[in-house]
Amino acid sequence: MEFLTPWSALFVAAVALPALVLLYLLKLRRQPLRIASTLLWEQAFEDLQANVPFQRLRYSLLLLIQFLLLAALLIAFAQPVLTGGVQPAGRIIVLIDVSASMRATDVDPNDPSQSRLDAARAEARNLIDNASRADRTAQIMIAMFGRSPRVITPFQSNRRILLDALDRVQPTDEQADLAQALRLAEAFATRSESDDQPPMVVLISDGGVGASERAAGFNLRAGRFRYVRVGQDMTTPVDNVGITAFTARRDFESPSRVDIFARLTNASRSAIELVATLRADDADPLPLIVNLPPATDATVGERSFTATMELPEGAVLSLEHNHEDALASDNTAALVLPAPRQPRLLMVHPDDDADADPFLVDLLRAADPAELIVMTASQYANQAVAQTDSSIDLIVFDRVSPAQLPMAPSLSFGAAPPTLGIIEPTQTGGQSVLSWDRQHPLMQYVELDAVRFAGFGGFDLPAAGTALAWGADGPIIALLRTQGVQHVAVGFELRRSDWPLHVSFAVFVQNVLEQLAVGGGAVDAFGFRPGEPITVVPKPGTTTIEVATPVALSVAVTNPGAVTLPAIRLAGVYGVVGAAPPFDTIAINVLSDQESDIRPVQSLRINAESAEAGVASDAAARPLWPYLIGAALVLVVLEWIAWCLRARM
């Protein structure tokens, strides 16, 4: 315990305590009167014992009560505080978990509307109130975190501003990343003015923050740490079934058939049987009975299942289960399934060639595109490039370098795109491919050991370029990303290599079609996680992209090739006005093992030490003067009762 103003209290005590004693020592000076008897004055007998100014101090219940009353007021004036957490005038960084699991409504069985986040706000208010009463100069910073941390208010001592900031702490369906939040706390802890005590970092969470990648646990380089747990206690069972995986893919040989995979997890201690229902727009729902095993101390119970649906057109797939539990966000999931469509291809060849390379044309036609357009370089340059690019999924340039990179993905052979320089070859004969990036999706299953080429040295790549294969003089296959569009360049001419004679060439072209061409790659249903960036392609002529979320989002189109939407933090299916299909509808899903496991965590490992759960009020110095003032009021009542009893005697 410490006293914030001890010297002021001592000064007042030096005056008040002697004055109180002096009042009981003084002898009342009375005028002498002749009376018949003193028996009627027994109550005033003490005042008649002496006729000197001072009398001997005797025991008095009133004196004792008044002494205790004055002592309580003097100690309260000294402002005593319990410093179980931070020291007075310290700094506190409050990190509030706003991830999906904090939306669980299992805090109070009598109030199902109260969530764990509501309880976290209440804990933060208690901390602010205690810190403000203990010391009005105490500095508090409030931040919330899910996928990424965000500062609500920097270090602030104004209680009203801090309480208003808590009202801006809103729930999300994101997955909690405590490591990112602690890095934010470190930055503000080291940036702030130095004092005797490092700042206290207070985490208010249910503990569902995942596991650290470090064996020593989460790392906090600056500041002390305190963990405040909200939610059910460790002995109360939780109840939650969550959808933690949901994928769908069209069959390669039969695109109308869709293969679906899903996984559900059970965080409760009892086995659960439920019905999971698959839906695809207006198609008949597909109910599935799922039996989930109970959770153990080590893991949650889980069950996976697969299903097949016939969907010749595009659709929004949804999965939901009928088990009512504490967390509703992970009870449903959705995916956007594009319609099966083959790509539209454009091939551009030199003007001096009457016909395009027949081998390359045959290979592109073998991919069964929706359309293959062949034109010369002059014809391509004379057409409206923007209009042509908007209707083409992939442009193949054979020994042609366009004046500018198109807005559609492209594949070039034997020519450098405008942003790439060329390194002259150091040898005139045939060359071999020295190495290539076998892990890159464009180079999967592509073998180049036996490939020979001539007439090309290498590319001089810019910072935005990625080398996929290397020759003796530099990169010979490269990938460029400009304005959200990918362009693949093969430096040597096909006619001056034996690559077309190898199976790997057909594999490479197929990889490019699947990865770059919108139609050829649209075989997977897609969805997003809350808080992650989403890029959509606007329709031609669109100036604004709008997202129909609970809080309307509007983004100006500055790049006709791609628009990145603001982070959407709540799960759901949203319409995107102005975006080209299939991105005119987006699905946001929790799909997190970490968030669906809502079992509270009693301790976290920070800096190789275990941080046990506590309460937020312990994180600030707790003032004692309100209790002393209350005791003084009780003593005032007791004094009045004692005086009344004495007066009646």
**pLDDT tens column, 591-647:** 999 999 999 888 898 987 888 877 555 555 566 667 777 777 877 777 777 777 766
Q: Which residues 6+ apart lie within 8 Å of 220 measured at CB?
A: 182, 185, 186, 201, 606, 607
Q: Are strands 139-145 and 585-588 parallel, antiparallel or unpaired?
A: unpaired
Lowest mean pLDDT among 94-98, 379-383, 554-558: 379-383
Residue 87 has pLDDT above 50, yes or no: no
> Contact, 502 vs 451, CB < 8 A?
yes
pLDDT for 371: 87
3-state secondary structure 17-40: HHHHHHHHHECCCCCCCCCCCCHH
CA 392 to mean position of chain CA atoms: 37
> Which of these, 85, 146, 190, 162, lies nearest to 154 by C-alpha position?
162
Lowest mean pLDDT among 18-32, 106-120, 141-155, 606-620: 18-32
pLDDT for 392: 84
pLDDT for 523: 63
pLDDT for 50: 44
Average pLDDT, the chain: 83
pLDDT for 89: 45
Residue 552 has pLDDT above 50, yes or no: yes
With a pLDDT cut of 90, the percent of the chain lying above it is: 44
pLDDT for 647: 65
Long-range CB contact pairs, 412-416, < 8 A, 24+: 412/487, 412/488, 412/489, 412/490, 413/360, 413/490, 413/492, 413/493, 413/494, 414/456, 414/490, 414/491, 414/492, 414/493, 414/494, 414/495, 414/496, 415/489, 416/459, 416/489, 416/491
pLDDT for 2: 56
CA dist 424 and 634 (Å) reads 96
Q: Which residues 6+ apart lie within 8 Å of 209 measured at CB?
A: 97, 99, 176, 177, 178, 594, 601, 604
CA dist 231 and 120 (Å) reads 9
- Asked whether the whole model's pTM tops 0.95, one would answer no
Residue 223 has pLDDT above 80, yes or no: no
Lowest mean pLDDT among 84-93, 298-307, 330-339: 84-93
Lowest mean pLDDT among 263-267, 385-389, 416-420, 523-527: 385-389
pLDDT for 85: 46
What are the structural domains of the chain? Answer: 2-78+629-648 (no CATH), 91-234+600-620 (3.40.50.410), 344-521 (3.40.50.880), 534-588 (no CATH)
The whole-number average pLDDT for the span 186-194 is: 71
- In which band, very low, low, confident or very high, does the pLDDT at 426 lie, cut at 50, 70 and 90? confident
